[in-house]
Structure 1
Protein backbone atom coordinates (compact mmCIF):
# COMPACT_ATOMS: atom_id res chain seq x y z
CA UNK A 1 0.00 0.00 0.00
CA UNK A 2 1.51 3.31 -1.08
CA UNK A 3 1.58 6.62 0.74
CA UNK A 4 -1.03 8.08 -1.65
CA UNK A 5 -3.11 4.94 -2.17
CA UNK A 6 -6.45 5.76 -3.83
CA UNK A 7 -5.88 9.52 -3.68
CA UNK A 8 -6.60 11.21 -7.00
CA UNK A 9 -4.10 13.86 -8.01
CA UNK A 10 -4.39 16.38 -10.85
CA UNK A 11 -0.99 17.60 -12.10
CA UNK A 12 -0.77 20.42 -14.62
CA UNK A 13 2.08 20.61 -17.10
CA UNK A 14 2.79 16.94 -16.43
CA UNK A 15 3.91 15.93 -19.91
CA UNK A 16 7.59 16.38 -19.09
CA UNK A 17 10.14 17.70 -16.61
CA UNK A 18 9.01 18.13 -13.04
CA UNK A 19 5.37 17.34 -13.75
CA UNK A 20 6.26 14.00 -15.30
CA UNK A 21 8.53 13.17 -12.34
CA UNK A 22 5.68 13.96 -9.92
CA UNK A 23 3.22 11.88 -11.93
CA UNK A 24 5.46 8.82 -11.96
CA UNK A 25 6.31 9.11 -8.25
CA UNK A 26 2.70 9.64 -7.17
CA UNK A 27 1.48 6.72 -9.29
CA UNK A 28 4.18 4.54 -7.73
CA UNK A 29 2.71 5.44 -4.32
CA UNK A 30 -0.78 4.33 -5.34
CA UNK A 31 -2.31 7.60 -6.54
CA UNK A 32 -4.69 7.92 -9.46
CA UNK A 33 -2.98 10.56 -11.59
CA UNK A 34 -4.59 13.02 -14.00
CA UNK A 35 -1.76 14.00 -16.34
CA UNK A 36 -2.72 17.40 -17.74
CA UNK A 37 -0.66 19.03 -20.48
CA UNK A 38 -1.57 21.15 -23.49
CA UNK A 39 0.70 18.80 -25.46
CA UNK A 40 -1.68 15.86 -25.58
CA UNK A 41 0.84 13.36 -27.01
CA UNK A 42 3.23 14.18 -24.16
CA UNK A 43 0.47 13.65 -21.59
CA UNK A 44 -0.48 10.32 -23.17
CA UNK A 45 3.17 9.21 -23.17
CA UNK A 46 3.39 9.77 -19.41
CA UNK A 47 0.14 7.87 -18.88
CA UNK A 48 1.58 4.98 -20.91
CA UNK A 49 4.64 4.97 -18.62
CA UNK A 50 2.37 4.79 -15.58
CA UNK A 51 0.27 1.99 -17.09
CA UNK A 52 3.41 0.00 -17.94
CA UNK A 53 4.35 0.09 -14.26
CA UNK A 54 0.91 -1.02 -13.13
CA UNK A 55 -0.32 2.42 -12.13
CA UNK A 56 -3.58 4.28 -12.68
CA UNK A 57 -3.79 7.46 -14.76
CA UNK A 58 -5.59 9.39 -17.46
CA UNK A 59 -4.40 12.03 -19.92
CA UNK A 60 -6.02 15.44 -20.29
CA UNK A 61 -5.19 18.38 -22.56
CA UNK A 62 -7.74 20.97 -21.42
CA UNK A 63 -6.82 24.61 -20.87
CA UNK A 64 -5.98 25.34 -17.22
CA UNK A 65 -6.30 29.10 -17.73
CA UNK A 66 -10.09 29.09 -18.06
CA UNK A 67 -12.78 28.04 -15.61
CA UNK A 68 -14.44 26.03 -18.39
CA UNK A 69 -11.22 24.10 -18.95
CA UNK A 70 -10.76 23.57 -15.22
CA UNK A 71 -14.30 22.25 -14.85
CA UNK A 72 -13.75 19.78 -17.69
CA UNK A 73 -10.56 18.49 -16.05
CA UNK A 74 -12.31 17.99 -12.71
CA UNK A 75 -15.34 16.39 -14.36
CA UNK A 76 -13.14 13.90 -16.24
CA UNK A 77 -11.22 13.04 -13.07
CA UNK A 78 -14.38 12.56 -11.01
CA UNK A 79 -16.02 10.50 -13.74
CA UNK A 80 -13.04 8.13 -13.84
CA UNK A 81 -11.89 8.06 -10.22
CA UNK A 82 -14.83 9.31 -8.16
CA UNK A 83 -13.13 12.27 -6.48
CA UNK A 84 -10.11 14.60 -6.61
CA UNK A 85 -8.03 14.94 -3.47
CA UNK A 86 -4.94 16.85 -4.61
CA UNK A 87 -4.04 19.54 -7.14
CA UNK A 88 -0.42 20.10 -8.13
CA UNK A 89 -0.25 23.41 -9.99
CA UNK A 90 2.95 22.87 -11.95
CA UNK A 91 2.46 24.28 -15.47
CA UNK A 92 4.43 27.38 -16.39
CA UNK A 93 6.11 29.32 -19.17
CA UNK A 94 8.82 31.91 -19.75
CA UNK A 95 9.03 35.13 -21.72
CA UNK A 96 12.44 36.33 -20.55
CA UNK A 97 13.44 39.92 -21.35
CA UNK A 98 15.10 42.75 -19.50
CA UNK A 99 12.33 44.80 -17.90
CA UNK A 100 12.49 47.72 -20.34
CA UNK A 101 12.30 45.30 -23.29
CA UNK A 102 9.17 43.47 -22.11
CA UNK A 103 6.12 43.78 -24.31
CA UNK A 104 2.57 43.87 -22.98
CA UNK A 105 2.09 40.40 -24.47
CA UNK A 106 5.22 39.10 -22.69
CA UNK A 107 3.78 40.30 -19.40
CA UNK A 108 0.22 39.14 -19.96
CA UNK A 109 1.13 35.67 -21.23
CA UNK A 110 3.26 34.84 -18.19
CA UNK A 111 0.59 36.16 -15.81
CA UNK A 112 -2.08 34.18 -17.65
CA UNK A 113 -0.30 30.84 -17.43
CA UNK A 114 1.16 31.18 -13.93
CA UNK A 115 -1.37 33.23 -11.98
CA UNK A 116 -4.63 32.53 -13.78
CA UNK A 117 -3.49 28.97 -14.31
CA UNK A 118 -3.05 28.62 -10.55
CA UNK A 119 -6.45 30.19 -9.93
CA UNK A 120 -8.86 28.31 -12.18
CA UNK A 121 -8.39 24.71 -11.06
CA UNK A 122 -7.80 25.63 -7.42
CA UNK A 123 -10.96 27.74 -7.35
CA UNK A 124 -13.01 25.01 -9.02
CA UNK A 125 -11.77 22.32 -6.65
CA UNK A 126 -11.94 24.49 -3.52
CA UNK A 127 -15.64 25.14 -4.20
CA UNK A 128 -16.22 21.40 -4.62
CA UNK A 129 -14.35 20.57 -1.40
CA UNK A 130 -16.06 23.38 0.55
CA UNK A 131 -19.49 22.18 -0.50
CA UNK A 132 -18.59 18.61 0.47
CA UNK A 133 -17.36 19.76 3.91
CA UNK A 134 -20.46 21.88 4.49
CA UNK A 135 -22.57 18.88 3.55
CA UNK A 136 -20.97 16.84 6.32
CA UNK A 137 -18.47 14.96 4.17
CA UNK A 138 -14.86 14.32 5.11
CA UNK A 139 -12.32 16.42 3.21
CA UNK A 140 -8.55 15.89 3.40
CA UNK A 141 -7.47 17.89 0.36
CA UNK A 142 -4.25 19.48 -0.85
CA UNK A 143 -3.29 22.43 -3.01
CA UNK A 144 0.38 22.27 -4.00
CA UNK A 145 1.46 25.40 -5.84
CA UNK A 146 4.70 26.13 -7.68
CA UNK A 147 6.78 29.21 -6.99
CA UNK A 148 10.47 29.65 -7.76
CA UNK A 149 13.68 31.07 -6.37
CA UNK A 150 12.99 33.90 -8.81
CA UNK A 151 9.74 34.59 -6.98
CA UNK A 152 11.45 34.55 -3.60
CA UNK A 153 14.51 36.62 -4.52
CA UNK A 154 13.94 38.13 -7.96
CA UNK A 155 15.85 37.27 -11.12
CA UNK A 156 17.49 39.46 -13.74
CA UNK A 157 15.61 39.42 -17.09
CA UNK A 158 12.65 37.65 -15.47
CA UNK A 159 10.59 40.44 -13.92
CA UNK A 160 7.34 39.01 -15.31
CA UNK A 161 8.13 35.45 -14.19
CA UNK A 162 9.47 36.57 -10.80
CA UNK A 163 6.40 38.71 -10.17
CA UNK A 164 4.05 35.85 -11.05
CA UNK A 165 5.95 33.42 -8.84
CA UNK A 166 5.96 35.90 -5.94
CA UNK A 167 2.20 36.28 -6.38
CA UNK A 168 1.82 32.51 -6.10
CA UNK A 169 3.48 32.65 -2.67
CA UNK A 170 0.95 35.25 -1.50
CA UNK A 171 -1.90 33.22 -3.00
CA UNK A 172 -0.70 30.16 -1.07
CA UNK A 173 -0.74 32.03 2.24
CA UNK A 174 -4.28 33.31 1.68
CA UNK A 175 -5.55 29.90 0.53
CA UNK A 176 -4.07 28.28 3.64
CA UNK A 177 -5.74 30.81 5.93
CA UNK A 178 -9.15 30.73 4.24
CA UNK A 179 -9.51 27.05 3.39
CA UNK A 180 -8.28 25.32 6.56
CA UNK A 181 -11.84 25.20 7.95
CA UNK A 182 -12.83 22.92 5.07
CA UNK A 183 -10.01 20.39 5.48
CA UNK A 184 -7.86 21.89 2.71
CA UNK A 185 -4.16 22.70 3.02
CA UNK A 186 -2.17 24.89 0.66
CA UNK A 187 1.60 24.87 0.33
CA UNK A 188 4.00 25.91 -2.40
CA UNK A 189 7.30 24.55 -3.63
CA UNK A 190 10.15 26.42 -5.25
CA UNK A 191 11.97 23.63 -7.11
CA UNK A 192 15.26 23.75 -8.97
CA UNK A 193 15.64 21.00 -11.56
CA UNK A 194 16.43 20.20 -15.17
CA UNK A 195 13.38 21.10 -17.25
CA UNK A 196 12.72 22.48 -20.70
CA UNK A 197 12.75 25.97 -19.18
CA UNK A 198 16.03 25.64 -17.29
CA UNK A 199 17.73 23.81 -20.16
CA UNK A 200 16.83 26.71 -22.39
CA UNK A 201 18.06 29.31 -19.89
CA UNK A 202 21.23 27.65 -18.52
CA UNK A 203 21.98 24.39 -20.35
CA UNK A 204 25.55 23.98 -19.11
CA UNK A 205 24.55 24.41 -15.49
CA UNK A 206 21.77 21.82 -15.44
CA UNK A 207 23.20 19.12 -17.69
CA UNK A 208 23.42 15.58 -16.39
CA UNK A 209 26.87 14.63 -15.05
CA UNK A 210 28.76 12.24 -17.30
CA UNK A 211 30.76 10.63 -14.50
CA UNK A 212 27.81 8.88 -12.87
CA UNK A 213 27.84 11.11 -9.79
CA UNK A 214 24.65 12.29 -8.09
CA UNK A 215 22.53 14.21 -10.59
CA UNK A 216 21.43 17.14 -8.44
CA UNK A 217 19.33 18.60 -11.27
CA UNK A 218 17.22 15.46 -11.85
CA UNK A 219 13.52 16.42 -11.53
CA UNK A 220 12.92 13.15 -9.68
CA UNK A 221 14.78 14.65 -6.70
CA UNK A 222 11.88 17.03 -6.03
CA UNK A 223 9.16 14.40 -6.41
CA UNK A 224 9.40 12.86 -2.89
CA UNK A 225 8.43 16.20 -1.32
CA UNK A 226 5.41 16.47 -3.62
CA UNK A 227 4.38 12.90 -2.77
CA UNK A 228 4.57 13.65 0.95
CA UNK A 229 2.63 16.90 0.61
CA UNK A 230 -0.05 15.07 -1.40
CA UNK A 231 -0.42 12.36 1.24
CA UNK A 232 -2.61 12.27 4.33
CA UNK A 233 0.53 12.59 6.47
CA UNK A 234 0.85 16.30 5.61
CA UNK A 235 -2.57 17.42 6.86
CA UNK A 236 -1.01 19.47 9.68
CA UNK A 237 1.26 21.51 7.35
CA UNK A 238 -0.15 24.50 5.49
CA UNK A 239 0.89 27.97 4.38
CA UNK A 240 4.53 26.97 3.85
CA UNK A 241 6.88 27.64 0.94
CA UNK A 242 9.39 24.83 0.43
CA UNK A 243 12.58 25.09 -1.60
CA UNK A 244 13.79 21.79 -3.05
CA UNK A 245 16.70 20.82 -5.28
CA UNK A 246 18.99 17.81 -5.40
CA UNK A 247 19.07 16.39 -1.90
CA UNK A 248 18.16 19.71 -0.23
CA UNK A 249 14.83 20.73 1.29
CA UNK A 250 14.25 23.96 3.17
CA UNK A 251 11.36 26.16 4.25
CA UNK A 252 11.60 29.73 3.00
CA UNK A 253 11.46 32.48 5.59
CA UNK A 254 9.13 34.99 3.95
CA UNK A 255 8.42 38.66 4.35
CA UNK A 256 7.78 39.65 7.95
CA UNK A 257 7.86 42.89 9.91
CA UNK A 258 11.47 43.75 10.69
CA UNK A 259 13.07 46.24 13.11
CA UNK A 260 10.86 49.19 14.04
CA UNK A 261 11.61 52.78 15.01
CA UNK A 262 8.61 54.38 16.75
CA UNK A 263 8.62 58.16 17.27
CA UNK A 264 5.12 58.47 18.70
CA UNK A 265 4.47 61.33 16.31
CA UNK A 266 4.65 62.10 12.59
CA UNK A 267 8.15 61.93 11.11
CA UNK A 268 9.72 64.91 9.40
CA UNK A 269 11.31 63.89 6.07
CA UNK A 270 14.57 65.53 7.18
CA UNK A 271 14.80 63.13 10.13
CA UNK A 272 14.47 59.95 8.12
CA UNK A 273 17.97 59.50 6.65
CA UNK A 274 19.63 58.33 9.88
CA UNK A 275 16.50 56.39 10.90
CA UNK A 276 16.45 54.41 7.66
CA UNK A 277 20.20 53.75 7.89
CA UNK A 278 19.75 52.41 11.42
CA UNK A 279 16.87 50.16 10.36
CA UNK A 280 18.91 48.76 7.47
CA UNK A 281 21.81 48.11 9.82
CA UNK A 282 19.55 46.17 12.19
CA UNK A 283 17.77 44.23 9.44
CA UNK A 284 18.60 40.81 8.03
CA UNK A 285 20.30 41.42 4.71
CA UNK A 286 18.29 40.18 1.72
CA UNK A 287 19.63 37.44 -0.52
CA UNK A 288 20.98 38.68 -3.81
CA UNK A 289 18.76 38.79 -6.87
CA UNK A 290 19.59 35.92 -9.23
CA UNK A 291 21.95 37.11 -11.94
CA UNK A 292 23.56 39.88 -9.90
Structure 2
Protein backbone atom coordinates (compact mmCIF):
# COMPACT_ATOMS: atom_id res chain seq x y z
CA UNK A 1 0.00 0.00 0.00
CA UNK A 2 1.17 3.50 -0.82
CA UNK A 3 0.86 6.56 1.36
CA UNK A 4 -2.03 7.94 -0.74
CA UNK A 5 -4.19 4.81 -0.65
CA UNK A 6 -7.86 5.75 -0.92
CA UNK A 7 -7.19 9.39 -1.77
CA UNK A 8 -8.48 11.17 -4.89
CA UNK A 9 -6.61 14.04 -6.56
CA UNK A 10 -6.91 16.37 -9.52
CA UNK A 11 -3.60 17.16 -11.23
CA UNK A 12 -3.69 19.97 -13.77
CA UNK A 13 -1.27 20.14 -16.68
CA UNK A 14 -0.55 16.45 -16.14
CA UNK A 15 0.04 15.40 -19.74
CA UNK A 16 3.79 16.02 -19.72
CA UNK A 17 6.75 16.90 -17.54
CA UNK A 18 6.15 17.64 -13.89
CA UNK A 19 2.40 17.10 -13.97
CA UNK A 20 2.79 13.70 -15.58
CA UNK A 21 5.43 12.74 -12.99
CA UNK A 22 3.05 13.82 -10.22
CA UNK A 23 0.11 11.87 -11.61
CA UNK A 24 2.12 8.69 -12.05
CA UNK A 25 3.67 8.89 -8.58
CA UNK A 26 0.29 9.56 -6.99
CA UNK A 27 -1.09 6.50 -8.77
CA UNK A 28 1.84 4.39 -7.55
CA UNK A 29 1.02 5.56 -4.03
CA UNK A 30 -2.59 4.39 -4.35
CA UNK A 31 -4.25 7.66 -5.32
CA UNK A 32 -7.00 7.82 -7.93
CA UNK A 33 -6.33 10.70 -10.31
CA UNK A 34 -8.20 13.12 -12.54
CA UNK A 35 -5.56 13.84 -15.18
CA UNK A 36 -6.12 17.29 -16.67
CA UNK A 37 -4.29 18.56 -19.73
CA UNK A 38 -5.47 20.92 -22.45
CA UNK A 39 -2.91 19.60 -24.95
CA UNK A 40 -1.15 22.89 -25.71
CA UNK A 41 2.48 23.83 -26.22
CA UNK A 42 4.87 25.74 -23.97
CA UNK A 43 3.50 29.05 -25.23
CA UNK A 44 -0.13 27.95 -25.16
CA UNK A 45 -0.28 26.81 -28.80
CA UNK A 46 -3.43 24.79 -29.33
CA UNK A 47 -3.29 21.10 -30.15
CA UNK A 48 0.48 20.63 -29.86
CA UNK A 49 0.17 17.71 -27.42
CA UNK A 50 -3.42 16.68 -28.07
CA UNK A 51 -4.27 13.41 -26.36
CA UNK A 52 -1.61 13.82 -23.66
CA UNK A 53 -4.09 13.44 -20.78
CA UNK A 54 -5.50 10.24 -22.25
CA UNK A 55 -2.01 8.77 -22.70
CA UNK A 56 -1.16 9.40 -19.05
CA UNK A 57 -4.43 7.78 -18.01
CA UNK A 58 -3.44 4.73 -20.07
CA UNK A 59 -0.07 4.59 -18.30
CA UNK A 60 -1.74 4.77 -14.89
CA UNK A 61 -4.16 2.01 -15.79
CA UNK A 62 -1.24 -0.10 -17.05
CA UNK A 63 0.25 0.26 -13.57
CA UNK A 64 -3.00 -1.05 -12.08
CA UNK A 65 -4.19 2.39 -10.98
CA UNK A 66 -7.39 4.32 -11.58
CA UNK A 67 -7.59 7.57 -13.52
CA UNK A 68 -9.82 9.60 -15.81
CA UNK A 69 -8.85 12.26 -18.34
CA UNK A 70 -10.01 15.85 -18.47
CA UNK A 71 -9.05 18.23 -21.28
CA UNK A 72 -10.53 21.48 -19.97
CA UNK A 73 -8.81 24.87 -19.87
CA UNK A 74 -7.94 25.39 -16.19
CA UNK A 75 -8.56 29.13 -16.44
CA UNK A 76 -12.19 28.66 -17.44
CA UNK A 77 -14.51 29.05 -14.45
CA UNK A 78 -16.88 26.21 -15.36
CA UNK A 79 -13.95 23.91 -16.12
CA UNK A 80 -12.95 23.90 -12.47
CA UNK A 81 -16.40 22.68 -11.53
CA UNK A 82 -16.26 19.96 -14.19
CA UNK A 83 -12.95 18.67 -12.83
CA UNK A 84 -14.31 18.52 -9.29
CA UNK A 85 -17.43 16.80 -10.58
CA UNK A 86 -15.31 14.28 -12.53
CA UNK A 87 -13.55 13.28 -9.31
CA UNK A 88 -16.80 12.89 -7.39
CA UNK A 89 -18.71 11.12 -10.17
CA UNK A 90 -15.92 8.65 -10.93
CA UNK A 91 -14.38 8.11 -7.52
CA UNK A 92 -16.95 9.35 -5.00
CA UNK A 93 -14.83 12.04 -3.41
CA UNK A 94 -12.05 14.62 -3.81
CA UNK A 95 -9.13 14.97 -1.42
CA UNK A 96 -6.57 17.12 -3.23
CA UNK A 97 -5.97 19.60 -6.04
CA UNK A 98 -2.47 19.81 -7.49
CA UNK A 99 -2.27 23.03 -9.52
CA UNK A 100 0.50 22.56 -12.04
CA UNK A 101 -0.74 23.77 -15.44
CA UNK A 102 0.95 26.75 -17.02
CA UNK A 103 3.08 28.11 -19.82
CA UNK A 104 5.61 30.87 -20.29
CA UNK A 105 6.16 33.76 -22.72
CA UNK A 106 9.78 34.86 -22.26
CA UNK A 107 10.04 38.60 -22.85
CA UNK A 108 12.01 41.47 -21.41
CA UNK A 109 9.60 43.79 -19.60
CA UNK A 110 10.04 46.57 -22.17
CA UNK A 111 8.97 44.25 -25.03
CA UNK A 112 6.16 42.32 -23.29
CA UNK A 113 2.81 42.94 -24.97
CA UNK A 114 -0.49 43.26 -23.07
CA UNK A 115 -1.69 40.08 -24.77
CA UNK A 116 1.37 38.11 -23.63
CA UNK A 117 1.08 39.51 -20.11
CA UNK A 118 -2.61 38.65 -19.85
CA UNK A 119 -2.14 35.13 -21.24
CA UNK A 120 0.52 34.22 -18.66
CA UNK A 121 -1.32 35.79 -15.73
CA UNK A 122 -4.52 34.06 -16.83
CA UNK A 123 -3.23 30.50 -17.05
CA UNK A 124 -1.23 30.67 -13.82
CA UNK A 125 -3.20 32.88 -11.44
CA UNK A 126 -6.73 32.40 -12.74
CA UNK A 127 -5.91 28.76 -13.45
CA UNK A 128 -4.93 28.22 -9.82
CA UNK A 129 -8.08 30.02 -8.72
CA UNK A 130 -10.77 28.25 -10.73
CA UNK A 131 -10.15 24.61 -9.81
CA UNK A 132 -9.22 25.31 -6.19
CA UNK A 133 -12.22 27.58 -5.71
CA UNK A 134 -14.68 24.88 -6.78
CA UNK A 135 -12.83 22.30 -4.69
CA UNK A 136 -12.95 24.58 -1.65
CA UNK A 137 -16.69 25.04 -2.12
CA UNK A 138 -17.14 21.26 -2.18
CA UNK A 139 -15.02 20.78 0.95
CA UNK A 140 -16.87 23.55 2.76
CA UNK A 141 -20.20 21.89 1.96
CA UNK A 142 -18.85 18.62 3.34
CA UNK A 143 -17.70 20.36 6.52
CA UNK A 144 -21.05 22.13 6.97
CA UNK A 145 -22.80 18.77 6.57
CA UNK A 146 -20.77 17.42 9.49
CA UNK A 147 -18.49 15.19 7.39
CA UNK A 148 -14.79 15.21 8.32
CA UNK A 149 -12.53 16.95 5.79
CA UNK A 150 -8.80 16.30 5.44
CA UNK A 151 -8.07 17.90 2.10
CA UNK A 152 -5.09 19.43 0.31
CA UNK A 153 -4.23 22.19 -2.13
CA UNK A 154 -0.75 22.01 -3.65
CA UNK A 155 0.16 25.04 -5.74
CA UNK A 156 3.10 25.61 -8.06
CA UNK A 157 5.21 28.70 -7.59
CA UNK A 158 8.78 29.13 -8.84
CA UNK A 159 12.12 30.60 -7.92
CA UNK A 160 11.15 33.20 -10.52
CA UNK A 161 8.15 34.11 -8.37
CA UNK A 162 10.09 34.11 -5.12
CA UNK A 163 12.96 36.28 -6.29
CA UNK A 164 12.27 37.31 -9.89
CA UNK A 165 13.78 36.23 -13.22
CA UNK A 166 15.16 38.46 -15.96
CA UNK A 167 13.10 38.12 -19.13
CA UNK A 168 10.12 36.64 -17.30
CA UNK A 169 8.27 39.57 -15.75
CA UNK A 170 4.77 38.18 -16.35
CA UNK A 171 5.69 34.66 -15.27
CA UNK A 172 7.50 35.94 -12.16
CA UNK A 173 4.54 38.13 -11.23
CA UNK A 174 2.09 35.23 -11.60
CA UNK A 175 4.25 32.85 -9.59
CA UNK A 176 4.77 35.44 -6.85
CA UNK A 177 1.01 35.87 -6.66
CA UNK A 178 0.59 32.11 -6.31
CA UNK A 179 2.93 32.03 -3.31
CA UNK A 180 0.84 34.70 -1.59
CA UNK A 181 -2.41 32.99 -2.57
CA UNK A 182 -1.13 29.86 -0.85
CA UNK A 183 -0.65 31.73 2.42
CA UNK A 184 -4.19 33.10 2.28
CA UNK A 185 -5.69 29.72 1.40
CA UNK A 186 -3.87 28.12 4.34
CA UNK A 187 -5.15 30.78 6.74
CA UNK A 188 -8.75 30.73 5.51
CA UNK A 189 -9.32 27.05 4.76
CA UNK A 190 -7.61 25.50 7.77
CA UNK A 191 -10.79 25.86 9.81
CA UNK A 192 -12.59 23.42 7.52
CA UNK A 193 -9.77 20.87 7.37
CA UNK A 194 -7.92 21.97 4.22
CA UNK A 195 -4.17 22.57 4.05
CA UNK A 196 -2.47 24.64 1.34
CA UNK A 197 1.18 24.51 0.39
CA UNK A 198 3.25 25.52 -2.63
CA UNK A 199 6.25 23.98 -4.31
CA UNK A 200 8.96 25.68 -6.37
CA UNK A 201 10.48 22.92 -8.51
CA UNK A 202 13.88 22.92 -10.17
CA UNK A 203 13.29 20.48 -13.01
CA UNK A 204 13.80 19.95 -16.72
CA UNK A 205 10.52 20.56 -18.55
CA UNK A 206 9.33 21.81 -21.93
CA UNK A 207 9.31 25.33 -20.46
CA UNK A 208 12.94 25.25 -19.32
CA UNK A 209 13.98 24.21 -22.82
CA UNK A 210 12.82 27.64 -24.07
CA UNK A 211 15.30 29.51 -21.85
CA UNK A 212 19.03 29.63 -21.22
CA UNK A 213 19.08 26.84 -18.65
CA UNK A 214 21.69 24.06 -18.52
CA UNK A 215 19.61 21.18 -17.21
CA UNK A 216 20.96 18.34 -19.32
CA UNK A 217 21.46 15.00 -17.62
CA UNK A 218 25.13 14.15 -17.11
CA UNK A 219 26.28 10.64 -18.08
CA UNK A 220 26.58 8.35 -15.08
CA UNK A 221 25.52 11.03 -12.62
CA UNK A 222 22.36 11.51 -10.59
CA UNK A 223 19.93 13.36 -12.86
CA UNK A 224 19.41 16.41 -10.65
CA UNK A 225 16.79 17.98 -12.87
CA UNK A 226 14.61 14.95 -13.60
CA UNK A 227 10.93 15.89 -13.08
CA UNK A 228 10.43 12.64 -11.16
CA UNK A 229 12.57 14.02 -8.32
CA UNK A 230 9.78 16.46 -7.47
CA UNK A 231 6.97 13.89 -7.38
CA UNK A 232 7.52 12.27 -3.94
CA UNK A 233 6.96 15.58 -2.14
CA UNK A 234 3.69 16.06 -4.01
CA UNK A 235 2.59 12.57 -2.99
CA UNK A 236 3.52 13.29 0.62
CA UNK A 237 1.59 16.57 0.62
CA UNK A 238 -1.47 14.84 -0.87
CA UNK A 239 -1.30 12.03 1.70
CA UNK A 240 -2.83 12.09 5.18
CA UNK A 241 0.71 11.99 6.59
CA UNK A 242 1.05 15.72 5.85
CA UNK A 243 -1.87 16.68 8.09
CA UNK A 244 -1.11 20.00 9.80
CA UNK A 245 1.63 21.00 7.34
CA UNK A 246 0.24 24.16 5.77
CA UNK A 247 1.14 27.63 4.54
CA UNK A 248 4.61 26.53 3.43
CA UNK A 249 6.60 27.08 0.24
CA UNK A 250 8.95 24.20 -0.53
CA UNK A 251 11.87 24.48 -2.92
CA UNK A 252 13.35 21.34 -4.43
CA UNK A 253 16.40 20.53 -6.52
CA UNK A 254 17.41 16.95 -7.11
CA UNK A 255 17.74 15.37 -3.68
CA UNK A 256 17.72 18.73 -1.89
CA UNK A 257 14.62 20.15 -0.19
CA UNK A 258 14.25 23.32 1.84
CA UNK A 259 11.64 25.86 2.88
CA UNK A 260 11.44 29.39 1.55
CA UNK A 261 11.55 31.84 4.45
CA UNK A 262 9.51 34.47 2.64
CA UNK A 263 9.55 38.20 3.31
CA UNK A 264 10.89 39.07 6.76
CA UNK A 265 11.35 42.42 8.53
CA UNK A 266 14.74 43.87 9.31
CA UNK A 267 15.41 45.62 12.63
CA UNK A 268 13.65 48.99 12.59
CA UNK A 269 15.19 52.45 12.81
CA UNK A 270 12.92 54.31 15.23
CA UNK A 271 13.02 58.10 15.53
CA UNK A 272 9.96 58.59 17.71
CA UNK A 273 8.67 61.29 15.38
CA UNK A 274 7.94 61.76 11.69
CA UNK A 275 10.98 61.52 9.46
CA UNK A 276 11.93 64.45 7.27
CA UNK A 277 12.60 63.53 3.63
CA UNK A 278 16.18 64.80 3.83
CA UNK A 279 16.93 62.41 6.73
CA UNK A 280 15.90 59.22 4.98
CA UNK A 281 18.89 58.50 2.76
CA UNK A 282 21.12 57.79 5.77
CA UNK A 283 18.41 55.69 7.43
CA UNK A 284 17.64 53.66 4.30
CA UNK A 285 21.31 52.95 3.62
CA UNK A 286 21.77 51.84 7.23
CA UNK A 287 18.89 49.39 6.79
CA UNK A 288 20.38 48.07 3.55
CA UNK A 289 23.80 47.62 5.14
CA UNK A 290 22.47 45.58 8.05
CA UNK A 291 19.77 43.45 6.41
CA UNK A 292 20.18 39.72 5.78
CA UNK A 293 21.60 38.89 2.33
CA UNK A 294 18.94 38.27 -0.33
CA UNK A 295 18.93 35.76 -3.16
CA UNK A 296 19.66 37.55 -6.45
CA UNK A 297 17.17 37.80 -9.30
CA UNK A 298 17.71 34.94 -11.77
CA UNK A 299 19.73 36.17 -14.72
CA UNK A 300 20.79 39.45 -13.06
CA UNK A 301 24.40 40.51 -13.41
**TM-score using structure 2 length:** 0.95
- The match for 1:265 is 273
What is the match of residue 47 of structure 1?
57
Cα deviation digits, residues 15-57 of structure 1 (max 9, x gap): 0000000011000000001110002510111111111111111
Q: Does 1:213 align with 2:232?
A: no
Equivalent-residue separation in structure 2 for 1:57 and 1:89 (angstroms) = 17
Structure 2 CA distance for aligned equivalents of residues 133 and 277 of structure 1: 51
Contact between 1:258 and 1:283, CA under 8 Å: does it hold in 2? yes
User: Structure 2 regions of 5+ residues with no counterpart?
Assistant: 40-49
Q: Does 1:56 align with 2:62?
A: no
Q: Which residue of 1 aligns with 2:297?
A: 289
Range with greater deviation from structure 2 (71-80 or 219-228): 71-80
Higher helix share: 1
Please name the residue that 1:232 is paired with.
240
1:265-287 alpha-carbon deviations (Å, 9 max, x no partner): 11001111111111111111211
1:127 — aligned with what? 137
Task: Return the TM-score normalized by structure 1.
Answer: 0.98
Question: Structure 2 CA distance, aligned partners of 1:258 and 1:125?
Answer: 38
Displacement after TM superposition at 1:189 (Å): 0.2
Residue 111 (1) aligns with residue 102 (2): no
User: Aligned ranges for residues 83-232 of structure 1 at < 5 Å?
Assistant: 83-202=93-212, 205-209=214-218, 211-232=219-240
Secondary structure of 1:90 counterpart: coil
C-alpha displacement at 1:202, in angstroms? Answer: 3.3
C-alpha contact 1:185 1:238 (8 A) present in aligned 2:
yes
**Structure 1 residue 200, shift from structure 2 partner:** 2.0
Structure 1's unaligned 5+ residue stretches are none
Which runs of structure 1 show a deviation greater than 4 angstroms over 4 or more consecutive aligned residues?
A: none
* CA deviation map 1:170-198 (0-9, x unaligned): 00000000000000000000001010001
In the alignment, the residues of structure 2 paired with residue 176 and residue 238 of structure 1 have an alpha-carbon distance, to the nearest angstrom, of 6
Q: Quote how far apart the aligned CAs of 1:6 are.
A: 1.2
Aligned to 1:246: 254
Task: Check the 8 A contact 1:199/1:207 in 2, yes or no.
Answer: no
Q: What secondary structure does 1:196 align onto?
A: coil
**Out of 240, 255, 263, which is 1:255 matched to?**
263
Once the two structures are superposed, what CA deviation does each residue of 1:194-229 show, in whole Å capped at 9, x if it has no partner? 1000122136x11222x2211001000000110100
SS at 2:201's partner residue?
strand
Cα deviations by residue, 1:88-123 (Å, 9 ceiling, x for unpaired): 000011011000000000100000000000000111
Q: Secondary structure in 2 aligned to 1:267?
A: coil
- SS of equivalent residue, structure 1 residue 87: strand
**Displacement of 1:78:** 0.8
Q: For 1:5 and 1:273, locate their aligned partners in 2 and report how far apart those are by CA, in whole Å.
A: 59
User: Once superposed, what is the RMSD of the aligned Cα atoms?
Assistant: 0.9
The aligned length equals: 290
User: SS at 1:30's partner residue?
Assistant: coil
